[in-house]
Structures are given as C-alpha cells and as structure tokens.
Amino acid sequence: MNFKGKYHFPIGLILLLLSLLSSNSLYAQLTIDTSLTARQLVEKLLVGQGVRVGKVTYTGNKLAIAHYTATNLPIDLKEGILLSTGNVFDAVGPNSYPFTTTGFMDVKTQRKLKGDKDLNRVAHNMSYDAAILEFDFIPTGNKVSFTYCFGSEEYPEYVDSRYNDVFGFFINGPKYHNKNLATLPLSIIPVTVNSINQHENKQVFIDNDFFTDVKPIKVLPNQSGKKVDPKKTNDTNEEALMINFKVNNKKLKKLNASLVKYLQYDGFTKTLVAWCYVQPFQLYHIKIAIGDVGDNSYDSGVFLSGGSFTSVKDPKMPHFKDFPDLTAKTNFDSLFYGVKPKPKINLQAKIDSIDEAEEAQFQITNVNFESDSYVIPDSAAVHLKALVAYLKKQPRFICELYGYTDNQGNKEYNQKLSEHRSQAVMNFLVARGINQKRFRIAGFNFERPRGDNSREDGRAINRRTEIILVEESKLPNNTAKQ
C-alpha cells in the first residue's frame, strides 16, 4: 500500500519555486532506476578497489532500493545506491511539501512492513518499513570504508522526538559482532535525525526546509472526524495525515536552489565516511539497513556512493603488522561458497539464536487506562506478564515507561496522573521479579497525543503508558540477573 502525503499547492507557490530555481539549476537532476538486482547494485556500483563480495541479498519492498545518479547537485555523491523507508522515486524533488511518505504493507500479513531488530536496538524503539541490503565481503587490506549521506522528511519537526528514523551499517566477522559503523566521527553515537540536525552537529547538516507553521497530526482514520480521501489510501488501518503549513519565502531564497528543486528531503547530512579496521583476506558480513522509527510515516533515505566501498593498507592502524598481498593465491569463491568444516557446538551461539527467535515474536504493547484512573486493566496484564518473562531472559534490556493522559482536566492534575500511570506499570513488573533499577519512568500529561482528544475513542488511545526497550551494554551491578 502506498500512501503519499502530497497535497495540491497554490499556483503562486509553484511559480515562485520555478522562478527561484530554474536559472541556476538548469543542468542539475536526480534520476532513479529500479531495474537492477541487488547483486548488480553491489557488484557494479558500490564495490571499489581491494574488496571482493558474494552472497548479496535484499529484504524489503522493491521500490525501496534503486540506482541513483545525481548530476550537478551540491552533494558529493554522484552515483550509487539509494535505500529508502519509502518509495525511492519520492526522493526526487522539487521539495514543495514538508512531509512526503509511503507506508509499505507486508504482503503476507497485510500489516505495516516490520523493521529490523538491529535498527530497534540503535533507535531504542520499534522500526518499520525496513530496507536491508546484505552481503559477504573479503578485504585485501586492513581498512575498509565507504561514503554516504542521509536525508529525511522528519527534519526539522521531529528532531528530538522518538520518531527518529534510523539506519545502520552492521559488520560481523573476526573481532566484530553487529558493530554499527554509521556513527558520528570518533564516537559510538549513531547517525540519526536526532544526532545531526540544525542544532546538533550542525557543521555536517544541510538544511533544505523552508516551511513554517507546520502542524502535522498523526491520527488514525475516523479519529479525526474527517473522511480519508480514498485516492490517497486504500487501507483503512493506515495513518491519515492532516498537515497545515506556510512558506517562508525569505528562507527559501537562502537555500541551495538545486537541492530544493531536485531533492525532496527536508534535511541532509554532508558526506560522511563509515570505516573500520579488519583482518586482510578474512570473511566478513555487512548489513546496510534503514527504517522508520515509532511509526511508518515520513520517508528517509541513505545514499551510498558508487565505488566507495574499498579496502586499503593503512599502516596507521594501532599495532600494525605488515602483511603480504595474497590476492593471486586466494580462492575467493571457496571462501564465499565452499563447504566449511562442521563447527563445534557453541552453547552461547545456541542461546543467542533462541533469544533472537523469541525477540522476533515479542511485541511491545502500550498499556491503556480508563478515564481518570491508573489501575492496570485485566486486558493489559497478559501482555505485561509476557514482558516480565522477556525481561528475565533478556538481561541486556532496560525499560523506559512514559505515561500520558487525555486533555480532560488541567495540566497540573494530568501531570501527576501520567506519572502515576508509568509508576503503576513499573510496580506491576517489579512485583513479579524485575529489578527496579532496570526502569526509567516519566509522565508527559496530555502532550504528544496519538488520537483526537475531541473524540472519546481518540482520548481512550491517549490514556496510556508507552513501553520502550533500551539495550544497555553495562547494567548496574546485581541487576542483570533479575
């Protein structure tokens, strides 16, 4: 199901855009091609010197991956692979609307396309609309790297929110287990909407937004009191978009005209480099993934620069030891596809595989309350007991509990009520054996409503405690066992 949040625009705005942009971006353009297979994209476009690849796979909607070509655009990525949380063709400008979105559907379940467990861990939240490109590789040098940039329609309205679209480059191999290479330079902080924007690390941020008074409301159909245009959606379960906005003409004139005309996203990172040291002529696996976070609305994309996935000899590596070039003597096909000796039974690996199977089945469910109450309903007890069992088997996770209310009553009263609701959920879990140190709780009164507070069914959705699992590599002493 494709839901595009594009509306009709005033003719004056369109004429203004054309007049401002046509003169100095005449020969610029962004083109999208979805005809290549994942293997062709990796082997013909992404790979450069010093790297051999094999076993290329792609998981996601076919319209979420493409070959892009950027001609005379002010981003230092001329050609390569685009992975998107929505339709890749929607990355093409002009940027005439603050939020463009495509929500994909799982063909089997007819529900929102799920995300990826590694993205969930990076984002500390549930992901959706995941596009995942994976392949094995063998480096001939001791350092691998590639260049990329990230763009999103979540800018700037959802900066510092939990709708923090995320991507990651996860490497596995000698000395690495799901290490994310998509981080800020000299840091373990992942590159996201929240970590690079107009406020944080703005030296590597490119603003492409000229909209003002943007008032996005994410509501379900029939909660807004307005009919959903059947031409814009064919799924009654999809979120409807109600967005009002104005144009800041003064800011528009200051933005890069080529970006505004040919790229849709409201913000970009400058060109960044992902890299790590590796062992030459050893087998590695990389997963490049991107997903919506918190919901499946508002697209983001990561541009991977063509030919930039390379391997070189870098003597600056700590404790560097020189090594011979074994390219001519190495049977790469055997390393990729050859029959390997039967591995010894690894008890920890078996436990990890069981944990991953359980995690794939586990679903985080909000707890909803009756009006003016923080008593946990019987209907939520089943889900909370499942959460207790999950937390006992997954000691690396802590729980963030965020309480909310509807808008009935004053803010001071609702603030206390929201705090009581998050406290009630924590007490339920602690009483069943989960250490209290594994919780962070907060109340947010009637802020961030999910439903329309003018309707009872909308208020019922807003009376909730949200449960978010956060992976902690180091928990306080004596907490991980409970």
Give residue 364's pLDDT.
Answer: 66
Beta strands in 141-190 (DSSP E): 143-152, 166-173, 176-180
Angle at 212 between CA 235 and CA 403, to 5 degrees: 60
CB of 289 within 8 A of CB of 64? no
The closest alpha carbon to 103, from 123, 82, 129, 72, belongs to 129
d(CA 173, CA 134): 13
d(CA 404, CA 416): 10
d(CA 359, CA 365): 14
CB of 475 within 8 A of CB of 394? no
Q: What is the mean pLDDT of each run of 10 residues along the chain (482 residues)?
A: 40 47 53 94 94 94 93 80 92 82 66 77 80 95 94 84 83 91 83 87 89 65 42 41 76 86 89 94 95 81 94 93 91 78 48 46 75 91 86 83 93 94 94 92 86 86 86 44 44
CB of 366 within 8 A of CB of 461? no
Give residue 20's pLDDT.
Answer: 46
d(CA 359, CA 347): 18
Pull the structure tokens for residue 12.
């004056």
CA 373 to chain centre: 34
Domain 348-471 has CATH 3.30.950.10: no
The closest alpha carbon to 267, from 162, 361, 163, 159, belongs to 159
Give residue 26's pLDDT.
Answer: 46
Q: Domain boundaries in the chain?
A: 11-312, 348-471
Give, in order, the Cα–Cα distances in Å from 24 to each of 29, 72, 73, 403: 12, 11, 11, 51
The closest alpha carbon to 362, from 383, 346, 345, belongs to 383
CB of 166 within 8 A of CB of 127? yes
Find the DSSP H helices in 327-410.
332-337, 347-361, 378-393
Contact residues for 439 (Cβ-Cβ < 8 A; gap 6+): 398, 399, 400, 401, 426, 429, 430
Give residue 110's pLDDT.
Answer: 57
Dihedral of CA 348/393/360/177: which sign? negative
- Length of the chain, in residues: 482
Chain position carrying tokens 């992942």: 190
d(CA 422, CA 408): 18
